[in-house]
Structure 1
Amino acid sequence: MTSDVSRRSLLALGAGLGATLIGGQAHAKAPKLGTQSPYFHRFMLGSAEVTVVSDGPLPLGDPSGTFVGVPKDEVKKMLTDNFLDASNVILEQNAPIVNMGDRLVLFDTGMGTSKLFGPTTGRLRKSMAEAGIKPGDIDAVVCSHAHIDHIGGIVDENDKPLFPNAQVYISEEDFKFWTDEAKLGSPLKDFVVHARKNLLPVRDRLVFYKDGQEFLPGITAMHAPGHTFGHHIFMIQSDGKSFAFLGDLTHHQVLLLEKPRMEFSYDSDPKMAANSRVKMLDMLAANKIAVMSYHFAWPGYGHVVKNGEGFRYIAEPMVMNL
C-alpha cells in the first residue's frame, strides 16, 4: 500500500511540474557561467599528501598515424566502444606533487611555452596556483624522461628556472641523448630544442638517478626503456602505502592497455617500449599496486588488472574528503 501511495504521489508531482513548465511559469534566468572546476585533485598516500595538477589536455589528432600495428578499424572500434572520439585522441597531462612532510616533490612539468600540440597545454603553473602550491616551495622536480611534454615547464619563456629551490632529477642517458646538439639537424629537432632550453639552464642542479635506486626517501626509480632509452617509472611509498607513477609507460587507458603490444609512433624503440610496458604492467597487476599515468583520463589514478592478453584500467573513485 505504501509503495502505491508513493508512486501516485510521484506521478502527481510529475504532472504538477509538467503543468508548471507547460504553462510557462518556469524560466531559466541565470546566465551560463562557462567556467570549470579548478584543475587539481588531492588524495592521501599513507602520511603523504598527493596533489595532482594538470598541464592541460594534449590532443594527438587522428590515431591512425600514432597508434600503429593494429588495423585502423580495430583501433576505431576500441575507442568508440569506450565512448571516446575515434577521430581525435586527447591525452591528459597529470603531474603529481607529493608532500612527504619534509619535502615537496613534483613529477614532470608539462609542455611549458611550446604549443607544438596546440593551445590547451602549458597550464601547470595555473593549476599549481589553483591548488595553493608555490613554485618556490618545490624541493625536487623528478622527470620520467626528457620528452617535450615532460620537461617543458622547467624554465619560463626567458629561460629562467621556474622552481628556484629545486634539484632536478633525470636519467643521465636521457639528458645526454635529448640535449645532443648534433641531433638539431634530425627529425627530433623540436624535441631536442625544447630539452636544451629546459635542461641546460639547470645543468648545475641536475641529479642523475639509476635503476633500482631510492634516490629520494620513499621514491625509487625503475628503468622502463623504449619510449626513450632512459625512461623510468617510479615507486612512491609512504607508511606502507604505495603507487607507481608510470610516466609514459602507456599513453592511453584503452588502446595501449587492451593491446599493450600496439606500437606508439613517439617511442624511440616501439618494440622495446612494448616489452617494458607488458613487463611492468604484469608486475603492477599481479601485486595490485595502484598506478598513476601521466596521460590517462583525469586525474589518472587507479589500478590495472589482467584482461586476456592485455590489461584493463580501473579508475579510483575521486574521494572529496581528505
Structure 2
Amino acid sequence: MPPEMVFGSMPQDELTPFLKHRQIDATRYEPECNVTLYRDGTNTVLFDVGSGPDFMPTSGKLLDTLSAVNLSPEDVSHVVFTHAHPDHIWGVLDDFDDLLFANATHHFGRTEWDYWWNPATVETIGEDRAAFAVGAKRRMEAIQDQVMFFDDGQEILPGIAARASIGHTPGHMAFEIRQGSDSAMVVGDALGNPHVAFERPDWHSGTDQDPQTAAATRSLLLDQLAEEQMKVIGFHLPDGGIGRVEKTGSAYRFIGKPS
C-alpha cells in the first residue's frame, strides 16, 4: 500500500532518521494481515475476515489458511468485527458474492455499524475512501439478517468482552479475551504497525480517520498492555501479530513470538 497512507502526516524531519535508524524502507509498505481464530471447544470464532479477492491482488487467502487448520467456512460459528475497513470486512463475500460464513452469527459494534450504514458517510468520508464506504455498506447488507450488535464493555461471548478503541474508525473495537489468569487483547488496527505506533504513539497516522483520538487510544492501550503483561494480537503486526508490549521510558516496544 502507499507508504504515505501511514507516514504522510507525521513530522518528516523526525520521521526520516527514525525510519533509517530502524532500517525501515519508507518507500514500501507491506503490512501483514492477521485474522484471529479463537476456539473454546464450543465456539469457533474469527475476528475479522480479511478483504477477500476484491481489494488487492495479494489478498484473499483466508480459505487456504482455514483449510490448513482443517476448518471450512461452515465450521465458523461467530465472526466478530473490529471495524469495517476493506481488509477487515470485505472477505465476508466469496468469489460469487455469496455469504462466505453462512452458518455464523456476525457481531458488530453498534456505533461502527451505524456509521457505515449511514448514506451520508460516502459523501463525507473523502474521495479517496468513498470506495471503502460503498464496499462496507454492500457487505453489511449481505450480513444484516445474521448480525448481533454490541456496545463497549459488553461480553459478546463467554470470556470475550468488547473494548472501545475509537479513532482509526468512529466505532473501532478491541476485544479482551480472558480464561482464568490468561488474557489477550485483539487490537485490530488500533496498533497499526510495530514501530511508530509503539515508539511514537502520539504521531498521527494517515490511516486513522480521527488521528488525534486514535493517538490517545494507542497510548491508553499500550499502558494497559504493558502494565498487565497481556498478550496482544494485532492485525498488522509482524510474525502472526502475537506478542507483548514492553515499556521503555516514555516509549513502548513490541515483543513478538512469546513463549
Q: Same fold (TM over 0.5)?
A: yes
Unaligned runs of 5+ in 2: none
Whole-Å separation in 1 of the counterparts to 2:19 and 2:68: 32
The verdict on how the C-alpha distance between 1:159 and 1:181 changes in structure 2, with shifts beyond 3 A counting, is: farther
Letter in 2 for 1:122: G
Q: 1:152 aligns with which of 75, 90, 93?
A: 90
Deviations 1:248-296 (A, max 9, x none): 1111100111100111112121101111110111111111111010001
Deviations 1:212-253 (A, max 9, x none): 111100100000111111111001122431110011111110
Matched, 1:104 2:21: no
Q: 1:87 aligns with which of 7, 11, 27?
A: 27
Whole-Å separation in 2 of the counterparts to 1:136 and 1:159: 16
Matched, 1:288 2:229: yes
Q: 2:190 aligns with which of 249, 252, 257?
A: 249
SS in 1 for 2:92: coil
Deviation of 1:180 after TM superposition, in Å, equals 2.4
Counterpart of 1:125 in structure 2 is 63
Letter in 2 for 1:155: L
Letter in 2 for 1:67: F
Between the two proteins, the alignment pairs up a number of residues equal to 256
Whole-Å separation in 1 of the counterparts to 2:5 and 2:75: 40
Whole-Å separation in 2 of the counterparts to 1:76 and 1:216: 44
Letter in 1 for 2:140: L
Contact 1:159 1:197 in 2 (8 A): no
TM-score normalised according to structure 2 size:
0.93
Q: 2:115 aligns with which of 168, 171, 177?
A: 177
Deviation of 1:103 after TM superposition, in Å, equals 0.7
List structure 1 runs of 4+ shifted beyond 6 angstroms.
none
- Structure 2 counterparts to residues 66-77 of structure 1, below 5 A: 66-77=6-17
The verdict on how the C-alpha distance between 1:258 and 1:202 changes in structure 2, with shifts beyond 3 A counting, is: same
Counterpart of 1:213 in structure 2 is 154
Counterpart of 2:174 in structure 1 is 233
Whole-Å separation in 1 of the counterparts to 2:27 and 2:234: 22
Contact 1:179 1:193 in 2 (8 A): no
Letter in 2 for 1:87: T
TM-score normalised according to structure 1 size:
0.75
Higher helix share: 2
Counterpart of 2:131 in structure 1 is 190
The share of aligned pairs that are identical, in percent, is 33
The verdict on how the C-alpha distance between 1:65 and 1:228 changes in structure 2, with shifts beyond 3 A counting, is: closer
Contact 2:204 2:211 in 1 (8 A): yes
Deviation of 1:130 after TM superposition, in Å, equals 2.0
Whole-Å separation in 2 of the counterparts to 1:168 and 1:65: 29
Counterpart of 1:204 in structure 2 is 145
RMSD between aligned residues: 1.7
Contact 2:82 2:188 in 1 (8 A): yes
SS in 2 for 1:304: strand
Whole-Å separation in 1 of the counterparts to 2:9 and 2:57: 30
Unaligned runs of 5+ in 1: 1-59
Whole-Å separation in 1 of the counterparts to 2:5 and 2:166: 22
Deviation of 1:65 after TM superposition, in Å, equals 4.7
Counterpart of 1:50 in structure 2 is none
* Bigger shift: residues 68-77 or 147-156: 68-77
Counterpart of 1:278 in structure 2 is 219
